[in-house]
Structure 1
Amino acid sequence: MDLFQILRDGRPRTRSELAAITGLARSTVAARIEALMDLQLIGPIEDAVSTGGRPSSQFAISGSHRIVAGVDIGASHVRVALATLTGSILGELKKTITVDRGPEELLGWVTSALQQLLDESDYSNSDLLAIGVGLPGPVEYRTGRPINPPIMPGWDKFDVPGWIGKSFDVPVLVDNDVNIMALGERHVAWPGVDQLIFVKVATGIGAGVISGGVLQRGAQGTAGDIGHINVSRGAEVPCQCGNRGCLEALASGPAIARVLETEGVEGIESQTSAEVVGLVKQGNLQAIQAVRQAGRDIGEVLTTCVSLMNPQVIVIGGSIAQAGEHIIAGAREVVYARSMPLATESLHIVQSRTGADAAIVGAALLALDHALSFSNVERMILENAPRVPSTVRG
């Protein structure tokens, strides 16, 4: 097991502990520690308790010398942030802007905002290791390009990594927003959980799937696209994807708003999630019932997910989750009634604890996982190693 990957859990360890865990010789461990310290990836901390003689120095991942950046692009907002190597957010900027304004305008603001954050911080561009980006649509993870995103005109196959890379000479990782929200929620609220489904319910519906502690993207990056699974109650309800009866057409924020508008409920003007949440918080009975039914529809789809994946935790996030326990209660009602008892005896179905911060934290983690991967750290060590001059033969 690699020494640096062991230290990524944040727990300080001595040279002796690292030698025992890795099976490496003490001299090899010492050389490896020296190389990682030269890169400012780890550093010594307070001395460990010793049984005699000199105290044993402990080493841990450094959170103060190198950084990554996270970018959260939503349907109507953009957030950018700098983060330490432990995932702590150092500073951020936010702008209200709709994604349909196009990639050049939004990414132009992103690069300017990131440069502003760097200029106002104690870090320089050379301290930046990678940038993670979340987009509100399908993304081909291998290339970082959005593919036929329904609410993102002008973004199809746009080279997001290439655009940002013109301003920052670091790797740029791009994924869909619900995947990075799953990463952020697990990191903050469920670090010990290896089987987790994060469901985002907002303008659309999607899921981020973590299995075995690893985010599952699938063959083409569309794993977790539960919003377009058929729900029996909605056989005749059209969806923007062209099919009928999709979960998204029944249980998304705009879908709930359309139901309330049809019922003559006042306060629905733009058919948005915010209007629905506002009515629920005001105690409007029709809105509460509509959100609860949306939860039941989501629960119908999640029942299949529970049978297939057997998760420990299902987290409901996104703007509609702000309606509180009503949508959670609807999902629980169906999942616990229809799933096998063994699959649900320890299953938690809960509201997101990270809330609106899940995506920005997850975007930073996306960058961290790449920047601190074994292969990337090895590359940095080799590039930083002193060059031995070749012998000139006469």
Structure 2
Amino acid sequence: MATVSAPELGAVLRLLRDGRYRTRAELARTAGLSRSTMSARIDELLRLGLVAPVGDAGSTGGRPAATFALAPAARLVVGVDLGATHARVSVTDLTGRELAEHMEQLHIADGPDVVLDRVAEVVTGLVARLDRPLRDVVGLGVGLPGPVDHTTGRPTKPPIMPGWDGSDVVGALRHRLGDLAVLVDNDVNLMALGEHATALPAVGHLLYVKVATGIGSGIVADGRIHRGAQGSAGDLGHIAVPGADPVPCTCGNTGCLEAIAGGGAVAARLAAQGLTAETTNDVVELVRHGDLRAAAAVREAGRSIGAVLAGCVSLLNPSAVVVGGSMSRAGEHLIAGIREIVYARSLPLATQHLRVVTSIAGPRAGVLGGAHSAAEHAFAHPELLTGEAVSPPDSAAATA
């Protein structure tokens, strides 16, 4: 019998991704193949453990036909969300079901060697905890808190990531973890992807806004991440706020949204009023404990964000604006400020059915997006699933 190729097997796996059980005959009809050809492919997938028998189909007479489904836990994917001061790692199966997760404080400013060493240690430990070999991991989706060249996965002049500019993140992680696909993207792009894939799959046009120490956004258009020509689409934090004071920004300009409404900026204003506030988390805790000055400051930050988003909504016409990041934990104050300005200043047609909501995926949006991008890449390159070959090192950008 001729060897069944990875692309041929991949075509069957993609048919089974919807979770439905099918017989060989049903799969053959759908794929336009002969029953014997499909049987050969199913037999090979059974041998590889990538599909499993799940019982018999109903029968009107004679022996009932066996049905088959994808075996999603046969391979693993990993999502990695790296922030300014944290790392979250999640191991999932091929459908995104979480199997193990770890979060810890980790400073991105410690540099790529320290951070990526630790990421590799955590991934290895989580996979070992599942009693699985590392070779079962077919891909990692990694989010970084800065601009990323999506064709190479290398950070590009990231302002809060000293020592990372041009770093070969893909090669470094492959060196530490073996020949698997590593996909690197901006963290907010993966958050947008995670929100879309797990919480709002029916929303084809979505703008995800991360409000934390910094402010950024990820754009989902027609169900796919829009990165722009150089991968810098969504850099919301460095758009000037209309009418704002010329507050200096880390980018060198003045009056940027991040300098006006980022968590650090809000904390600094509250500290100037005598409150104990150094970080975004301090601001959130003040709001949660009922401090009226903190609540007012967060709502005003929401208005500034809304002033910038109003133009984005008119330009992009999303169905939903989703607000995530640590500042979103301050309750309705931030969202109320954003809604107030967006609905008042955006085009009526653009806001007719617009929802402005807090993230449903919450702090896990980034790792969910990373794992989803790795799974999408694996199904697009089925040799990763079959073990026939590995993805080339320059396949660094998320495919979704």
Task: Report matched runs for 1:96-245 at 5 Å.
Answer: 96-168=105-177, 169-245=179-255
Query: Take 1:91 and 1:150, find their aligned partners in 2: how far apart are those partners?
Result: 31
Task: Pick closer, same or farther for the CA change 1:347–1:383 going to 2, 3 Å.
Answer: same
3-state SS of 2:285 partner:
helix
State the match for 2:374 in structure 1: 367
Once the two structures are superposed, what CA deviation does each residue of 1:269-298 show, in whole Å capped at 9, x if it has no partner?
A: x2x111111111111112111111111121
Displacement of 1:2 in angstroms is 4.0
Percent of pairs with identical residues? 51
User: Are 1:198 and 1:208, in contact at CA under 8 Å, matched by a contact in 2?
Assistant: yes
3-state SS of 2:87 partner:
strand
Which range is displaced more, 93-102 or 42-51? 42-51
Query: Take 1:288 and 1:382, find their aligned partners in 2: how far apart are those partners?
Result: 54
Query: Take 1:23 and 1:355, find their aligned partners in 2: how far apart are those partners?
Result: 42
Query: Take 1:348 and 1:162, find their aligned partners in 2: how far apart are those partners?
Result: 40
Q: Which has the higher contact order (CA 8 A, sep 6+)?
A: 2
State the match for 1:348 in structure 2: 355
Displacement of 1:52 in angstroms is 4.0
Once the two structures are superposed, what CA deviation does each residue of 1:75-111 show, in whole Å capped at 9, x if it has no partner?
A: 1111223211111121123321211111111111111
Task: Pick closer, same or farther for the CA change 1:277–1:358 going to 2, 3 Å.
Answer: same
Please tell me whether residue 298 in structure 1 is matched to residue 305 in structure 2.
yes
Once the two structures are superposed, what CA deviation does each residue of 1:1-36 show, in whole Å capped at 9, x if it has no partner?
A: 944323223333333443444444444433333343
Query: Take 1:200 and 1:111, find their aligned partners in 2: how far apart are those partners?
Result: 26
Once the two structures are superposed, what CA deviation does each residue of 1:238-291 show, in whole Å capped at 9, x if it has no partner?
A: 1110111211111110111122223x14122x2x11111111111111211111
State the match for 1:69 in structure 2: 78
User: Are 1:201 and 1:252, in contact at CA under 8 Å, matched by a contact in 2?
Assistant: yes
Task: Pick closer, same or farther for the CA change 1:322–1:123 going to 2, 3 Å.
Answer: same
Task: Pick closer, same or farther for the CA change 1:46–1:236 going to 2, 3 Å.
Answer: same
3-state SS of 1:90 partner:
strand
Query: Take 2:14 and 2:43, find their aligned partners in 1: how far apart are those partners?
Result: 15
Task: Pick closer, same or farther for the CA change 1:30–1:348 going to 2, 3 Å.
Answer: farther
Please tell me whether residue 377 in structure 1 is matched to residue 387 in structure 2.
no
Give the letter for the 1:383 counterpart: E
Give the letter for the 1:46 counterpart: G
3-state SS of 2:232 partner:
coil
State the match for 1:274 in structure 2: 281
Give the letter for the 2:276 counterpart: G
User: Are 2:75 and 2:385, in contact at CA under 8 Å, matched by a contact in 1?
Assistant: no
State the match for 1:392 in structure 2: none
Query: Take 1:90 and 1:39, find their aligned partners in 2: how far apart are those partners?
Result: 21
Which range is displaced more, 154-163 or 24-33? 24-33
3-state SS of 2:41 partner:
helix
User: Are 1:61 and 1:86, in contact at CA under 8 Å, matched by a contact in 2?
Assistant: no
3-state SS of 2:202 partner:
coil
3-state SS of 1:91 partner:
strand
Query: Take 1:342 and 1:6, find their aligned partners in 2: how far apart are those partners?
Result: 38
3-state SS of 1:55 partner:
coil
Query: Take 1:48 and 1:338, find their aligned partners in 2: how far apart are those partners?
Result: 57
Please tell me whether residue 31 in structure 1 is matched to residue 40 in structure 2.
yes
User: TM (normalized to structure 2)?
Assistant: 0.88
Query: Take 1:18 and 1:202, find their aligned partners in 2: how far apart are those partners?
Result: 47
Please tell me whether residue 307 in structure 1 is matched to residue 317 in structure 2.
no
Please tell me whether residue 10 in structure 1 is matched to residue 15 in structure 2.
no
Give the letter for the 2:382 counterpart: V
**Unaligned ranges ≥5, structure 1:** 385-394
Displacement of 1:326 in angstroms is 1.0
User: TM (normalized to structure 1)?
Assistant: 0.90
Task: Pick closer, same or farther for the CA change 1:29–1:303 going to 2, 3 Å.
Answer: farther
Give the letter for the 1:303 counterpart: A
Q: How many residues align?
A: 379
Please tell me whether residue 319 in structure 1 is matched to residue 329 in structure 2.
no
User: Are 2:378 and 2:384, in contact at CA under 8 Å, matched by a contact in 1?
Assistant: no
User: Are 1:234 and 1:244, in contact at CA under 8 Å, matched by a contact in 2?
Assistant: no
User: Are 1:100 and 1:152, in contact at CA under 8 Å, matched by a contact in 2?
Assistant: yes
Give the letter for the 1:279 counterpart: L
Give the letter for the 1:44 counterpart: P
User: Are 1:40 and 1:66, in contact at CA under 8 Å, matched by a contact in 2?
Assistant: no
Task: Pick closer, same or farther for the CA change 1:53–1:327 going to 2, 3 Å.
Answer: farther
Task: Pick closer, same or farther for the CA change 1:18–1:193 going to 2, 3 Å.
Answer: farther
Once the two structures are superposed, what CA deviation does each residue of 1:373-392 show, in whole Å capped at 9, x if it has no partner?
A: 1xx116766938xxxxxxxx
3-state SS of 1:49 partner:
coil
Displacement of 1:356 in angstroms is 1.3
Task: Pick closer, same or farther for the CA change 1:232–1:172 going to 2, 3 Å.
Answer: same
State the match for 2:7 in structure 1: none
User: Are 1:67 and 1:82, in contact at CA under 8 Å, matched by a contact in 2?
Assistant: yes
Query: Take 2:155 and 2:100, find their aligned partners in 1: how far apart are those partners?
Result: 27
User: Are 1:35 and 1:381, in contact at CA under 8 Å, matched by a contact in 2?
Assistant: no
Query: Take 1:228 and 1:51, find their aligned partners in 2: how far apart are those partners?
Result: 66
Give the letter for the 2:93 counterpart: T
RMSD (Å), alpha carbons: 2.1
State the match for 2:395 in structure 1: none
